[in-house]
């Protein structure tokens, strides 16, 4: 198969030759083979895209919410027609198992339709009555948005940003992760097919410097970022200097609290879907499993058995739920934590190395550590791989304290046969989202984190608010 070579960006409705001469290789993590290259965009590339977005902003904003909702529905329809193509490309880029990738892309379609429905129920102006007369509260788009997306769920996390941005009347410059940039070119084609006007959606590929140029561009008025906490803090600092709006969805080290009465057979399916989804490369993963000491060995056995039963292998095989990690660097990072856990005194009851059946590809065995305390680094730092730690607690007060003793606060879960009691425990966890016997986070509810897990919210009925400025018009009688 011929190598895929992209020497352009998508700017102002067309694929334009890049200004930068630098390139980045795209590697298939299942084969360790480079199969594509993209442009490592520079400040000139970013400037061209931002200026195209700025120029297109006036006409796009003038369309109004209802008309923009029509475009979003066309975008959803065009995207739906290419789900298989996008899914296969994402799997090839980052190793996401194909069944997981297809489920993600199906959700993208629903996301765009949801944001369209929100737009249809918005009005540009709302009359209000004040103590000194009547007034109008007007909603205007903030302007050009920089959408910076990660590699682990490139299209869903893009939809969470570009959907409400377009609905609000903003224009967008997308900077995808270098590992998963190829699907962004497909998205650009889909946007054009849906009739999105030139300049409203732009794509510039590249690495860290490309992202920095986008964040610091004076015409960009909002940044929406999903990625690491370190990068998020740097972006927040840069946005703070220019008083730009910013939404950050960052890392996590979330806890699954198993209460004394937990039904372990009912919990075991959550090991794959909540504790280690997408081969553990999801920031909301419940990677700390908190178990009552009276049932600790039982919980360790159940979690270990559930991890062992998750099929791992070729990500293009729909039967597999775990694939390779995204890159050699990520595998090295995860393996460093496996060694660190052993040095800290934890014991790997499952996994702990590379699977012998897959000598090629960036695979790591699904791993469960026992004899873990919450002060160990494997319990405090985000590993971003298929690694779970099981931590004992004496009573519910200690379980809550352990769950909250973290610099992160993105996800969480409480598992019990008593739904109402579990809900009371969930209320006491300091986090942005938490499930009770559930791993879902529906698009109709806000999603985001607290502490080092970020700031702001995506999804939910207020999705458009971060992309809108309110202007009050006072009127005399």
Backbone φ and ψ for 234, nearest 5 degrees, come out as: -65, -40
- From the list 376, 383, 434, 448, the residue with the least C-alpha distance to 405 is 376
DSSP 260: T
**Three-class DSSP category at 385:** coil
Question: Strands across the sheet with 133-141, in order?
Answer: 125-130, 133-141, 468-474
Q: Is the dihedral of CA 278, 283, 287, 291 positive or negative?
A: negative
Q: How many angstroms separate the CA atoms of 122 and 143, rounded? A: 18
Q: What is the DSSP string of 172-185?
A: EEEE--GGG-HHHH
Backbone φ and ψ for 28, nearest 5 degrees, come out as: -75, 115
Query: Is there a catalytic annotation at residue 283?
Result: yes
Residues 6+ apart with CB under 8 A from 401: none
Q: How many angstroms separate the CA atoms of 398 and 290, rounded? A: 10
> What distance, in Å, lies between the first and last C-alpha atoms of the chain?
72
Q: How many angstroms separate the CA atoms of 287 and 291, rounded? A: 13
- Mark residue 32 as left, alpha or beta (left: phi above 0; alpha: psi -120 to 50; beta: remaining): left
Alpha helices, DSSP H only, in 407-456? 419-427
Q: How many angstroms separate the CA atoms of 418 and 304, rounded? A: 24
The kind and range of the H/E element at 315 are none
Q: How many angstroms separate the CA atoms of 285 and 281, rounded? A: 8
Q: How many angstroms separate the CA atoms of 412 and 439, rounded? A: 9
Identify any residues that bridge with 207 across adjacent strands, giving them in sequence order: none
- Mark residue 243 as left, alpha or beta (left: phi above 0; alpha: psi -120 to 50; beta: remaining): left
CB 110 within 8 A of CB 72: no
- From the list 285, 289, 301, 300, the residue with the least C-alpha distance to 259 is 289
Query: Of these residues, 54, 179, 216, 249, which one is catalytic?
Result: 249
Query: Half-sphere exposure of 376 toward its Cβ, with a 13 Å CA cutoff?
Result: 24
CB 149 within 8 A of CB 178: no
Query: Of these residues, 283, 365, 382, 458, which one is catalytic?
Result: 283
| 97-to-177, 244, 432 alpha-carbon distances in Å | 18, 37, 27
So which residues are the catalytic ones?
249, 283
């Amino acid at each position: 198969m011929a190598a895929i070579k992209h020497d352009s960006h998508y700017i102002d409705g067309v694929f334009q030759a890049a200004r930068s001469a630098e390139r980045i290789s795209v590697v298939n993590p299942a084969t360790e083979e480079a199969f594509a290259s993209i442009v490592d965009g520079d400040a000139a590339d970013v400037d061209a895209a931002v200026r195209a977005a700025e120029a297109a902003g006036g006409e796009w904003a003038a369309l109004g919410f209802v008309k923009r909702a029509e475009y979003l529905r066309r975008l959803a329809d065009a995207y739906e027609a290419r789900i298989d193509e996008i899914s296969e490309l994402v799997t090839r880029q980052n190793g996401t198992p194909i069944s997981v990738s297809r489920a993600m892309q199906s959700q993208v379609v629903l996301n765009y339709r949801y944001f369209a429905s929100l737009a249809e129920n918005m009005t540009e102006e709302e009359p209000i009555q004040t103590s000194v007369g009547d007034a109008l509260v007007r909603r205007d788009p903030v302007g050009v948005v920089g959408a910076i997306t990660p590699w682990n769920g490139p299209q869903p996390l893009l939809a969470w940003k570009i959907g409400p941005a377009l609905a609000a009347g903003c224009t967008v410059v997308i900077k995808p992760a270098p590992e998963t940039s190829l699907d962004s070119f497909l998205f650009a084609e889909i946007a054009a097919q849906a009739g999105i006007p030139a300049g409203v959606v732009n794509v510039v590929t590249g690495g860290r410097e490309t992202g920095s140029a986008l964040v610091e561009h004076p015409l960009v008025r909002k940044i929406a970022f999903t990625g690491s906490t370190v990068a998020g803090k740097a972006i927040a600092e840069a946005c703070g200097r220019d008083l730009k709006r910013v939404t950050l969805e960052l890392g996590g080290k979330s806890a699954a609290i198993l209460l004394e009465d937990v039904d372990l057979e009912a919990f075991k399916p959550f090991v794959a879907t909540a504790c280690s989804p997408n081969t553990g490369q999801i920031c909301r993963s419940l990677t700390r499993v908190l178990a009552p000491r009276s049932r600790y060995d039982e919980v360790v056995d159940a979690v270990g058995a559930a991890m062992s039963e998750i099929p791992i292998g070729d990500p293009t095989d729909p039967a597999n739920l775990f694939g390779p990690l995204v890159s050699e660097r990520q595998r090295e990072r995860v393996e460093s934590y496996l060694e660190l856990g052993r040095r800290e005194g934890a014991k790997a009851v499952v996994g702990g190395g590379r699977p012998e059946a897959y000598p090629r590809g960036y695979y790591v065995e699904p791993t469960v550590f026992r004899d873990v305390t919450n002060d160990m680094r494997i319990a405090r730092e985000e590993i971003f791989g298929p690694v779970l730690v099981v931590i004992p607690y004496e009573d519910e007060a200690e379980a809550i304290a352990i769950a909250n003793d973290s610099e992160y606060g993105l996800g969480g879960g409480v598992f019990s046969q008593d739904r109402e009691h579990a809900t009371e425990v969930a209320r006491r966890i300091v986090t942005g989202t938490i499930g009770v016997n559930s791993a879902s986070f529906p698009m109709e509810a806000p999603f985001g984190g607290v502490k080092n897990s970020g700031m702001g919210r995506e999804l939910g009925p207020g999705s458009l608010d971060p992309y809108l400025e309110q202007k009050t018009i006072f009127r005399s009688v």
